Amino acid sequence: MKYADEFRDKAIALGLAKTIEAETDPGRPYRFMEFCGGHTHAISRYGLEDLLPKNVRMIHGPGCPVCVLPAGRIDMAIRLAERPDVILCVYGDLMRVPGSQGASLLKAKARGADIRMVYSTIDAVRIAEENAGREIVFFAIGFETTTPPTAVMIRLAEKKQLENFSVFCNHVLTPPAMQNILESPDIRKIGRIEIDGFVGPAHVSTIIGTAPYEFFAEEFGKPVVIAGFEPLDMMQAILMLVRQVNENRHEVENQYSRAVTCGGNLRAKEEVSDIFELRAQFEWRGLGQVPYSGLKLKRTYAKYDAEVRFGMSELRVDDNPACECGAILRGVKKPVDCKLFGTVCTPETPMGSCMVSSEGACAAHWTYGRFRDHQQRRAS
Amino acid sequence: MCLAIPAEVTKILPDEMAIVSIDGVSKEISVALIEDLAVGDYVIVHVGYALTKIDPDEARRTLELLRELSAEAQGAAS
Protein backbone atom coordinates (compact mmCIF):
# COMPACT_ATOMS: atom_id res chain seq x y z
CA MET A 1 0.00 0.00 0.00
CA LYS A 2 1.30 3.47 -0.91
CA TYR A 3 -1.62 5.43 0.52
CA ALA A 4 -2.40 7.37 -2.67
CA ASP A 5 -3.68 5.38 -5.70
CA GLU A 6 -5.86 3.16 -3.52
CA PHE A 7 -7.88 6.25 -2.64
CA ARG A 8 -8.42 7.26 -6.28
CA ASP A 9 -10.36 4.19 -7.48
CA LYS A 10 -12.99 5.22 -10.02
CA ALA A 11 -15.34 2.26 -9.54
CA ILE A 12 -15.51 2.90 -5.78
CA ALA A 13 -16.05 6.63 -6.38
CA LEU A 14 -18.99 5.91 -8.70
CA GLY A 15 -20.46 3.53 -6.11
CA LEU A 16 -20.11 6.19 -3.42
CA ALA A 17 -21.85 8.69 -5.71
CA LYS A 18 -24.82 6.29 -6.01
CA THR A 19 -24.96 5.88 -2.23
CA ILE A 20 -24.90 9.67 -1.77
CA GLU A 21 -27.69 10.06 -4.31
CA ALA A 22 -29.77 7.34 -2.65
CA GLU A 23 -29.44 8.96 0.77
CA THR A 24 -29.99 12.63 -0.06
CA ASP A 25 -33.47 14.03 0.33
CA PRO A 26 -34.32 15.68 -3.03
CA GLY A 27 -36.55 18.16 -1.22
CA ARG A 28 -33.75 19.97 0.63
CA PRO A 29 -30.42 21.59 -0.21
CA TYR A 30 -27.09 20.33 1.16
CA ARG A 31 -24.53 23.15 1.17
CA PHE A 32 -21.11 22.11 2.42
CA MET A 33 -18.03 24.29 2.68
CA GLU A 34 -14.62 22.77 2.24
CA PHE A 35 -12.27 25.07 4.12
CA CYS A 36 -9.03 23.85 2.52
CA GLY A 37 -7.66 24.83 -0.84
CA GLY A 38 -6.37 21.25 -1.14
CA HIS A 39 -9.96 20.01 -1.10
CA THR A 40 -11.06 22.72 -3.56
CA HIS A 41 -8.33 21.61 -5.92
CA ALA A 42 -9.25 17.90 -5.55
CA ILE A 43 -12.95 18.63 -6.21
CA SER A 44 -12.11 20.53 -9.41
CA ARG A 45 -9.32 18.27 -10.62
CA TYR A 46 -11.26 15.01 -10.24
CA GLY A 47 -14.58 16.55 -11.33
CA LEU A 48 -16.29 15.45 -8.12
CA GLU A 49 -19.07 18.02 -8.49
CA ASP A 50 -20.29 16.11 -11.55
CA LEU A 51 -20.73 13.01 -9.39
CA LEU A 52 -22.93 14.76 -6.81
CA PRO A 53 -26.72 15.20 -6.96
CA LYS A 54 -27.88 18.68 -8.03
CA ASN A 55 -28.95 19.66 -4.51
CA VAL A 56 -25.51 18.93 -3.01
CA ARG A 57 -23.39 22.04 -3.50
CA MET A 58 -19.77 22.53 -2.48
CA ILE A 59 -18.79 26.02 -1.33
CA HIS A 60 -15.10 26.74 -1.64
CA GLY A 61 -13.71 28.34 1.52
CA PRO A 62 -10.72 30.60 2.17
CA GLY A 63 -8.29 27.82 3.00
CA CYS A 64 -5.17 28.69 1.11
CA PRO A 65 -2.61 30.71 3.08
CA VAL A 66 -1.10 32.20 -0.07
CA CYS A 67 -4.51 33.43 -1.27
CA VAL A 68 -5.45 35.09 2.00
CA LEU A 69 -2.14 36.91 2.50
CA PRO A 70 -2.88 40.64 2.20
CA ALA A 71 -1.08 42.55 -0.56
CA GLY A 72 0.48 44.86 2.06
CA ARG A 73 2.50 41.97 3.51
CA ILE A 74 3.90 41.25 0.03
CA ASP A 75 4.85 44.93 -0.29
CA MET A 76 6.60 44.75 3.08
CA ALA A 77 8.58 41.69 1.94
CA ILE A 78 9.55 43.36 -1.35
CA ARG A 79 10.76 46.45 0.50
CA LEU A 80 12.88 44.24 2.75
CA ALA A 81 14.28 42.21 -0.17
CA GLU A 82 15.39 45.43 -1.86
CA ARG A 83 17.95 46.00 0.92
CA PRO A 84 21.34 45.00 -0.51
CA ASP A 85 22.36 43.13 2.66
CA VAL A 86 19.24 40.90 2.67
CA ILE A 87 18.66 37.47 1.13
CA LEU A 88 14.93 36.71 1.27
CA CYS A 89 14.07 32.99 1.27
CA VAL A 90 10.51 32.13 0.19
CA TYR A 91 8.35 29.13 -0.72
CA GLY A 92 7.78 28.99 -4.48
CA ASP A 93 4.00 29.59 -4.23
CA LEU A 94 4.65 33.15 -3.09
CA MET A 95 6.64 34.39 -6.05
CA ARG A 96 3.68 35.44 -8.24
CA VAL A 97 1.36 36.71 -5.51
CA PRO A 98 0.42 40.30 -6.35
CA GLY A 99 1.34 43.18 -4.06
CA SER A 100 0.18 46.70 -4.82
CA GLN A 101 0.28 48.10 -8.37
CA GLY A 102 1.23 44.82 -10.00
CA ALA A 103 4.36 44.30 -7.88
CA SER A 104 5.44 40.75 -7.02
CA LEU A 105 8.48 39.01 -5.56
CA LEU A 106 9.19 37.56 -9.00
CA LYS A 107 9.42 41.06 -10.50
CA ALA A 108 11.52 42.28 -7.56
CA LYS A 109 13.91 39.37 -8.17
CA ALA A 110 14.08 40.25 -11.88
CA ARG A 111 15.05 43.78 -10.85
CA GLY A 112 17.96 42.40 -8.85
CA ALA A 113 16.67 41.70 -5.34
CA ASP A 114 18.28 38.57 -3.87
CA ILE A 115 15.18 36.40 -3.44
CA ARG A 116 15.67 32.64 -3.30
CA MET A 117 13.03 29.95 -3.60
CA VAL A 118 13.41 27.22 -1.00
CA TYR A 119 11.61 23.90 -0.64
CA SER A 120 12.12 23.68 3.10
CA THR A 121 13.10 25.79 6.11
CA ILE A 122 16.20 23.55 6.33
CA ASP A 123 17.42 25.09 3.04
CA ALA A 124 17.03 28.58 4.54
CA VAL A 125 19.23 27.61 7.50
CA ARG A 126 21.87 26.27 5.08
CA ILE A 127 21.83 29.52 3.11
CA ALA A 128 22.36 31.43 6.38
CA GLU A 129 25.37 29.25 7.25
CA GLU A 130 26.90 29.75 3.80
CA ASN A 131 26.40 33.56 3.76
CA ALA A 132 27.76 34.78 7.08
CA GLY A 133 28.07 38.39 5.88
CA ARG A 134 24.43 38.70 4.73
CA GLU A 135 21.08 38.94 6.53
CA ILE A 136 18.94 35.89 5.74
CA VAL A 137 15.18 36.42 6.19
CA PHE A 138 12.74 33.55 5.82
CA PHE A 139 9.26 34.59 4.58
CA ALA A 140 7.20 32.32 6.82
CA ILE A 141 3.64 31.66 5.67
CA GLY A 142 1.09 28.92 6.14
CA PHE A 143 -1.51 27.35 8.39
CA GLU A 144 -0.89 25.02 11.32
CA THR A 145 0.68 22.55 8.86
CA THR A 146 3.57 24.80 7.92
CA THR A 147 4.12 26.49 11.28
CA PRO A 148 5.94 23.61 13.08
CA PRO A 149 8.71 23.53 10.41
CA THR A 150 9.28 27.26 11.03
CA ALA A 151 9.43 26.64 14.79
CA VAL A 152 11.96 23.81 14.35
CA MET A 153 14.08 26.09 12.16
CA ILE A 154 14.19 28.86 14.79
CA ARG A 155 15.22 26.30 17.42
CA LEU A 156 17.92 25.09 15.01
CA ALA A 157 19.15 28.64 14.32
CA GLU A 158 19.45 29.21 18.06
CA LYS A 159 21.34 25.95 18.55
CA LYS A 160 23.73 26.81 15.72
CA GLN A 161 24.06 30.37 17.12
CA LEU A 162 23.23 31.90 13.75
CA GLU A 163 23.39 35.69 14.13
CA ASN A 164 22.32 36.55 10.56
CA PHE A 165 18.97 34.83 10.52
CA SER A 166 15.37 36.00 11.07
CA VAL A 167 11.77 35.24 10.12
CA PHE A 168 9.04 37.44 8.59
CA CYS A 169 6.10 35.70 10.24
CA ASN A 170 2.74 35.40 8.45
CA HIS A 171 1.47 32.18 10.01
CA VAL A 172 -2.31 32.02 10.47
CA LEU A 173 -4.77 29.74 12.24
CA THR A 174 -7.68 27.79 10.79
CA PRO A 175 -10.39 27.67 13.51
CA PRO A 176 -10.68 31.50 13.98
CA ALA A 177 -11.15 31.92 10.21
CA MET A 178 -13.88 29.27 10.10
CA GLN A 179 -15.61 31.11 12.92
CA ASN A 180 -15.22 34.46 11.12
CA ILE A 181 -16.94 33.06 8.02
CA LEU A 182 -20.08 32.44 10.06
CA GLU A 183 -20.18 35.43 12.38
CA SER A 184 -18.26 38.39 10.96
CA PRO A 185 -20.02 41.80 10.89
CA ASP A 186 -19.55 41.86 7.09
CA ILE A 187 -22.25 39.23 6.83
CA ARG A 188 -24.92 41.91 7.16
CA LYS A 189 -23.57 43.52 3.99
CA ILE A 190 -22.97 40.31 2.06
CA GLY A 191 -26.21 38.54 2.84
CA ARG A 192 -27.16 35.43 4.73
CA ILE A 193 -24.70 32.61 4.66
CA GLU A 194 -26.24 29.24 4.30
CA ILE A 195 -23.85 26.44 5.08
CA ASP A 196 -25.07 23.06 6.32
CA GLY A 197 -21.71 21.58 7.22
CA PHE A 198 -17.93 21.76 6.88
CA VAL A 199 -15.32 19.48 5.39
CA GLY A 200 -12.47 19.97 7.88
CA PRO A 201 -8.81 20.39 6.86
CA ALA A 202 -6.66 17.31 6.23
CA HIS A 203 -3.07 18.15 7.03
CA VAL A 204 -3.79 21.04 9.39
CA SER A 205 -5.67 18.48 11.48
CA THR A 206 -2.69 16.06 11.57
CA ILE A 207 -1.09 18.75 13.77
CA ILE A 208 -4.00 20.24 15.76
CA GLY A 209 -6.15 17.08 15.92
CA THR A 210 -9.93 16.90 15.85
CA ALA A 211 -10.52 18.48 19.28
CA PRO A 212 -10.38 22.20 18.24
CA TYR A 213 -13.45 21.72 16.01
CA GLU A 214 -15.63 20.43 18.89
CA PHE A 215 -16.40 23.97 20.10
CA PHE A 216 -17.23 25.00 16.56
CA ALA A 217 -19.65 22.11 15.91
CA GLU A 218 -21.40 22.74 19.19
CA GLU A 219 -21.48 26.56 19.17
CA PHE A 220 -22.71 26.92 15.58
CA GLY A 221 -24.64 23.65 15.34
CA LYS A 222 -22.79 22.64 12.16
CA PRO A 223 -21.38 19.19 11.41
CA VAL A 224 -17.64 18.98 10.70
CA VAL A 225 -16.05 15.99 8.94
CA ILE A 226 -12.25 16.01 8.69
CA ALA A 227 -11.24 14.52 5.34
CA GLY A 228 -8.11 13.47 3.46
CA PHE A 229 -7.19 15.08 0.13
CA GLU A 230 -7.77 12.07 -2.13
CA PRO A 231 -11.02 11.91 -4.15
CA LEU A 232 -12.42 8.90 -2.26
CA ASP A 233 -11.71 10.64 1.05
CA MET A 234 -13.72 13.60 -0.17
CA MET A 235 -16.65 11.48 -1.38
CA GLN A 236 -16.83 9.59 1.91
CA ALA A 237 -16.72 12.86 3.87
CA ILE A 238 -19.64 14.24 1.81
CA LEU A 239 -21.64 11.08 2.53
CA MET A 240 -20.84 11.43 6.25
CA LEU A 241 -22.04 15.06 6.16
CA VAL A 242 -25.25 14.09 4.32
CA ARG A 243 -25.95 11.50 7.01
CA GLN A 244 -25.35 14.02 9.82
CA VAL A 245 -27.69 16.53 8.18
CA ASN A 246 -30.38 13.87 7.62
CA GLU A 247 -30.13 12.74 11.22
CA ASN A 248 -30.02 16.30 12.57
CA ARG A 249 -26.64 15.74 14.18
CA HIS A 250 -23.78 18.25 14.41
CA GLU A 251 -20.69 16.37 15.49
CA VAL A 252 -17.01 16.30 14.64
CA GLU A 253 -16.23 13.14 12.69
CA ASN A 254 -12.88 12.02 11.36
CA GLN A 255 -12.74 10.44 7.91
CA TYR A 256 -8.93 10.84 7.72
CA SER A 257 -8.26 8.51 10.65
CA ARG A 258 -5.11 7.07 9.02
CA ALA A 259 -3.32 10.37 9.74
CA VAL A 260 -5.43 12.43 12.18
CA THR A 261 -5.98 11.72 15.86
CA CYS A 262 -8.02 13.54 18.49
CA GLY A 263 -5.04 15.25 20.12
CA GLY A 264 -2.95 15.79 16.98
CA ASN A 265 0.84 15.87 16.97
CA LEU A 266 1.81 16.83 20.54
CA ARG A 267 5.47 17.30 19.72
CA ALA A 268 4.66 19.70 16.87
CA LYS A 269 2.20 21.63 19.04
CA GLU A 270 4.86 22.01 21.73
CA GLU A 271 7.43 23.31 19.23
CA VAL A 272 4.91 25.93 18.06
CA SER A 273 3.81 27.05 21.54
CA ASP A 274 7.47 27.38 22.65
CA ILE A 275 8.25 29.91 19.92
CA PHE A 276 5.01 31.66 18.87
CA GLU A 277 2.19 33.60 20.48
CA LEU A 278 -1.13 34.99 19.18
CA ARG A 279 -1.44 38.38 17.50
CA ALA A 280 -4.49 40.35 18.66
CA GLN A 281 -5.64 40.40 15.04
CA PHE A 282 -4.35 39.68 11.55
CA GLU A 283 -5.65 40.72 8.16
CA TRP A 284 -6.93 38.06 5.75
CA ARG A 285 -7.41 38.97 2.13
CA GLY A 286 -11.13 38.54 1.43
CA LEU A 287 -12.08 38.35 5.12
CA GLY A 288 -10.51 41.51 6.56
CA GLN A 289 -9.21 41.70 10.14
CA VAL A 290 -9.78 38.44 12.00
CA PRO A 291 -9.21 38.48 15.80
CA TYR A 292 -6.59 36.11 17.22
CA SER A 293 -6.04 34.47 13.84
CA GLY A 294 -2.30 35.07 13.35
CA LEU A 295 0.94 34.19 15.10
CA LYS A 296 4.07 36.17 15.91
CA LEU A 297 7.35 35.29 17.61
CA LYS A 298 7.43 35.51 21.39
CA ARG A 299 9.40 38.40 22.85
CA THR A 300 12.16 36.05 24.02
CA TYR A 301 12.77 35.24 20.33
CA ALA A 302 12.57 38.88 19.18
CA LYS A 303 16.04 38.77 17.66
CA TYR A 304 14.73 36.25 15.12
CA ASP A 305 11.67 38.41 14.33
CA ALA A 306 12.37 40.32 11.09
CA GLU A 307 9.61 42.84 11.83
CA VAL A 308 11.45 43.84 15.04
CA ARG A 309 14.98 43.38 13.72
CA PHE A 310 14.48 45.63 10.67
CA GLY A 311 11.79 47.90 12.17
CA MET A 312 9.40 46.92 9.37
CA SER A 313 6.32 49.15 9.31
CA GLU A 314 2.88 47.77 8.49
CA LEU A 315 1.73 48.54 4.92
CA ARG A 316 -1.95 48.43 4.00
CA VAL A 317 -3.31 48.01 0.50
CA ASP A 318 -7.04 48.05 -0.26
CA ASP A 319 -8.41 45.25 -2.44
CA ASN A 320 -10.07 46.15 -5.73
CA PRO A 321 -13.58 47.39 -4.73
CA ALA A 322 -15.25 45.39 -7.52
CA CYS A 323 -13.67 42.15 -6.24
CA GLU A 324 -16.27 39.72 -4.84
CA CYS A 325 -13.82 37.47 -2.95
CA GLY A 326 -15.44 38.18 0.43
CA ALA A 327 -18.82 36.93 -0.80
CA ILE A 328 -17.31 34.03 -2.80
CA LEU A 329 -15.28 32.83 0.20
CA ARG A 330 -18.48 32.69 2.22
CA GLY A 331 -20.43 30.89 -0.49
CA VAL A 332 -22.88 33.74 -1.13
CA LYS A 333 -21.62 34.27 -4.69
CA LYS A 334 -19.92 32.10 -7.29
CA PRO A 335 -16.79 33.05 -9.25
CA VAL A 336 -18.83 33.74 -12.41
CA ASP A 337 -20.97 36.26 -10.47
CA CYS A 338 -17.92 38.56 -10.20
CA LYS A 339 -17.48 41.22 -12.90
CA LEU A 340 -13.70 40.84 -12.71
CA PHE A 341 -13.66 37.03 -13.19
CA GLY A 342 -12.06 36.06 -16.47
CA THR A 343 -11.89 39.67 -17.65
CA VAL A 344 -9.19 41.59 -15.79
CA CYS A 345 -8.80 38.88 -13.17
CA THR A 346 -7.13 35.67 -14.38
CA PRO A 347 -4.38 33.46 -12.88
CA GLU A 348 -1.82 35.49 -14.87
CA THR A 349 -3.06 38.80 -13.44
CA PRO A 350 -4.99 37.95 -10.26
CA MET A 351 -6.90 40.82 -8.64
CA GLY A 352 -8.31 39.04 -5.60
CA SER A 353 -7.41 36.27 -3.21
CA CYS A 354 -9.50 33.53 -4.86
CA MET A 355 -7.53 33.80 -8.13
CA VAL A 356 -4.05 33.94 -6.61
CA SER A 357 -3.02 30.31 -6.23
CA SER A 358 -4.30 27.18 -7.98
CA GLU A 359 -6.10 26.30 -4.74
CA GLY A 360 -8.37 29.37 -4.77
CA ALA A 361 -12.06 29.05 -5.74
CA CYS A 362 -11.76 31.36 -8.78
CA ALA A 363 -8.48 29.86 -10.02
CA ALA A 364 -9.92 26.33 -9.74
CA HIS A 365 -13.02 27.42 -11.65
CA TRP A 366 -10.90 29.14 -14.30
CA THR A 367 -8.66 26.09 -14.77
CA TYR A 368 -11.28 23.32 -14.68
CA GLY A 369 -14.86 24.48 -13.99
CA ARG A 370 -15.50 26.97 -16.79
CA PHE A 371 -15.20 24.21 -19.39
CA ARG A 372 -18.07 22.43 -17.68
CA ASP A 373 -20.16 25.65 -17.77
CA HIS A 374 -19.43 25.87 -21.48
CA GLN A 375 -20.54 22.26 -22.11
CA GLN A 376 -23.73 22.85 -20.12
CA ARG A 377 -24.51 25.98 -22.13
CA ARG A 378 -23.99 24.11 -25.39
CA ALA A 379 -26.15 21.23 -24.23
CA SER A 380 -29.07 23.47 -23.25
CA MET B 1 -0.04 25.10 0.23
CA CYS B 2 -0.82 22.37 2.75
CA LEU B 3 -0.32 19.66 0.15
CA ALA B 4 1.70 16.78 1.50
CA ILE B 5 2.61 13.36 0.20
CA PRO B 6 2.92 9.91 1.76
CA ALA B 7 6.48 8.54 1.74
CA GLU B 8 8.24 5.46 3.09
CA VAL B 9 11.11 5.89 5.58
CA THR B 10 14.15 4.00 4.22
CA LYS B 11 16.94 5.22 6.51
CA ILE B 12 17.14 7.13 9.78
CA LEU B 13 19.98 9.67 9.94
CA PRO B 14 21.49 11.63 12.87
CA ASP B 15 20.25 15.14 13.83
CA GLU B 16 16.55 14.28 13.47
CA MET B 17 16.86 13.63 9.73
CA ALA B 18 15.81 10.64 7.59
CA ILE B 19 15.78 9.42 4.00
CA VAL B 20 12.36 8.69 2.54
CA SER B 21 11.32 7.09 -0.72
CA ILE B 22 8.45 8.56 -2.73
CA ASP B 23 7.63 6.00 -5.44
CA GLY B 24 11.34 5.19 -5.73
CA VAL B 25 12.60 8.79 -5.53
CA SER B 26 14.80 9.38 -2.47
CA LYS B 27 14.67 12.59 -0.45
CA GLU B 28 16.27 13.72 2.78
CA ILE B 29 13.73 15.16 5.21
CA SER B 30 13.52 16.29 8.82
CA VAL B 31 11.77 14.00 11.28
CA ALA B 32 12.10 16.41 14.21
CA LEU B 33 8.30 16.39 14.67
CA ILE B 34 7.92 12.59 14.87
CA GLU B 35 8.41 10.26 17.81
CA ASP B 36 9.28 6.54 17.64
CA LEU B 37 10.09 6.36 13.96
CA ALA B 38 11.26 3.11 12.33
CA VAL B 39 12.44 2.15 8.85
CA GLY B 40 9.43 0.98 6.84
CA ASP B 41 7.00 3.45 8.46
CA TYR B 42 5.02 5.69 6.13
CA VAL B 43 4.95 9.40 6.95
CA ILE B 44 3.20 12.42 5.44
CA VAL B 45 5.81 14.84 4.09
CA HIS B 46 5.21 18.59 3.86
CA VAL B 47 7.87 21.23 3.05
CA GLY B 48 10.65 18.77 3.89
CA TYR B 49 9.24 17.69 7.25
CA ALA B 50 7.37 14.56 8.28
CA LEU B 51 4.12 15.77 9.87
CA THR B 52 2.75 12.48 11.12
CA LYS B 53 2.99 8.73 10.72
CA ILE B 54 0.31 6.95 8.69
CA ASP B 55 -1.53 4.29 10.65
CA PRO B 56 -1.68 1.25 8.32
CA ASP B 57 -4.53 -0.42 10.24
CA GLU B 58 -6.68 2.71 10.05
CA ALA B 59 -5.92 3.05 6.32
CA ARG B 60 -7.02 -0.55 5.75
CA ARG B 61 -10.20 0.00 7.75
CA THR B 62 -11.03 3.16 5.74
CA LEU B 63 -10.54 1.28 2.44
CA GLU B 64 -12.80 -1.56 3.61
CA LEU B 65 -15.44 0.95 4.68
CA LEU B 66 -15.17 2.77 1.34
CA ARG B 67 -15.82 -0.50 -0.52
CA GLU B 68 -18.81 -1.27 1.69
CA LEU B 69 -20.30 2.22 1.30
CA SER B 70 -19.71 2.08 -2.43
CA ALA B 71 -21.60 -1.20 -2.72
CA GLU B 72 -24.49 -0.08 -0.51
CA ALA B 73 -26.58 1.65 -3.16
CA GLN B 74 -26.16 -1.27 -5.57
CA GLY B 75 -27.22 -3.63 -2.82
CA ALA B 76 -30.31 -1.54 -2.08
CA ALA B 77 -31.28 -1.35 -5.76
CA SER B 78 -31.16 -5.11 -6.36
* pLDDT given for residue A378 in this prediction: 83
Percentage above 90 pLDDT, chain A? 68
Q: Mind spelling out the 3-state secondary structure of chain A?
A: CCCCHHHHCHHHHHHHHHHHHHHCCCCCCEEEEEEEHHHHHHHHHCCHHHHCCCCEEEEEEEECHHHHCCHHHHHHHHHHHCCCCEEEEEEHHHCCCCCHHHCCHHHHHHCCCCEEEECCHHHHHHHHHHCCCCEEEEEEEECCCCHHHHHHHHHHHHHCCCCCEEEEEEEECHHHHHHHHHHCCCHHHHCCCCCCEEEECCHHHHHHCCCHHHHHHHHHCCCEEECCCCHHHHHHHHHHHHHHHHCCCCCEEECCCCCCCCCCCHHHHHHHHHHEEECCEEEECCCEEEECCEEEECHHHHHHEHHHHCCCCCCCCCCCCCCCHHHHHCCCCCHHHCCCECCCECCCCCCCHHHHCCCCHHHHHHHHHHHHHHHHHHHC
ipTM for the predicted complex: 0.93
More confident residue, A376 or A247: A247
CA pseudo-torsion sign A213, A285, A81, A102: positive
**Contact residues on chain B for A201, CB-CB shorter than 8 A:** 2
Nearest residue of B to residue A155, measured between CA atoms: B32
Domains of chain A, with CATH numbers?
1-367 (3.40.50.11740)
CATH of residue B14's domain is 2.30.30.140
pLDDT band at A188 (very low <50, low <70, confident <90, very high): low
Tell me what pLDDT residue A356 has: 83
Residue A360 has pLDDT above 90, yes or no: no
- Residues A172-183: what's their mean pLDDT? 87
Given pLDDT bands bounded at 50, 70 and 90, which one contains residue B76? low
The pLDDT of residue A192 is above 70: no
- Contact A231/A8 with Cβ under 8 angstroms? yes
User: Do the beta carbons of residue A210 and residue A44 sit within 8 Å?
Assistant: no
- Best of B33, B41, B57, B68 to substitute, by most chain A Cβ atoms within 10 angstroms, is B33
- What is the per-residue pLDDT for A190? 65
Supply the mean pLDDT for chain A: 92
- CB contact (8 A) between residue A206 and residue B51: yes
Domain of B18, in residue numbers = 5-77
Report the chain B residue with the minimal C-alpha distance to residue A91. B47
Contact list in A for residue B34 (CB cut-off 8 A) is: 267
A267 and B33 in contact by Cβ < 8 A?
A: yes
What is the least distance, in Å, from the CA of B18 to any CA of chain A? 13
Q: Do B72 and A36 touch (CB under 8 A)?
A: no
User: Which chain A residue shows the shortest CA-CA distance from B72?
Assistant: A19
Interface contact flag, B5 A119, Cβ < 8 Å: no
Instruction: Count structural domains, chain B.
Output: 1
Q: What is the dihedral of CA A329, A334, A339, A340, to 10 degrees?
A: 50
- Measured at the CA of B23, the angle between CA B22 and CA B26, to 5 degrees, comes to 45
Read off φ and ψ for residue A49, nearest 5 degrees.
-60, -30
Q: Which residues does chain B have within 8 Å of residue A16's beta carbon, measured at their own beta carbons?
A: 66, 69-70
pLDDT score for A187: 63
pLDDT for A56 equals 96
Reference A9, options A52, A46, A57, A50; nearest CA is A46
User: pLDDT-derived band of residue B78, with 50, 70 and 90 as boundaries?
Assistant: very low
B22 and chain A in contact, CB less than 8 A:
no
Q: Which pLDDT score is estimated for B73?
A: 77
pLDDT digits over A275-315, tens only? 999 999 999 988 889 999 999 999 999 999 999 999 999 99
Residue B25 touches partner A, C-beta closer than 8 Å: no
Flag whether pLDDT at A29 surpasses 50.
Answer: yes
Q: Which residues of A touch B60 (CB under 8 A)?
A: 1
Residues 6+ apart with CB under 8 A from A319: A71, A285, A286, A325, A351, A352, A353
Q: What are phi and psi of A256, to 5 degrees?
A: -95, 45
pLDDT, residue A185, reads 66
Residue A14 in this model has a pLDDT that exceeds 60: yes
CA distance A235 to A237: 5
Give the span between the Cα atoms of A351 and A377, in whole angstroms.
Answer: 27
- Compute the average pLDDT of residues B59-64: 96
Q: What is the pLDDT of residues A257-271, one digit of tens each?
A: 999 999 999 999 999
pLDDT-based confidence at B75, cuts 50/70/90?
low
Q: Do the chains contact at B59 and A268, CB–CB below 8 Å?
A: no
A49-95, pLDDT tens digit by residue?
999 999 999 988 887 888 889 999 999 999 999 999 999 999 988 88
Judge: A357–B1 Cβ closer than 8 Å, yes or no. Answer: yes
What confidence score (pLDDT) does residue A10 get? 94
Model confidence at B3, pLDDT cuts 50, 70, 90, reads: confident
The predicted structure's pLDDT at residue A163: 96
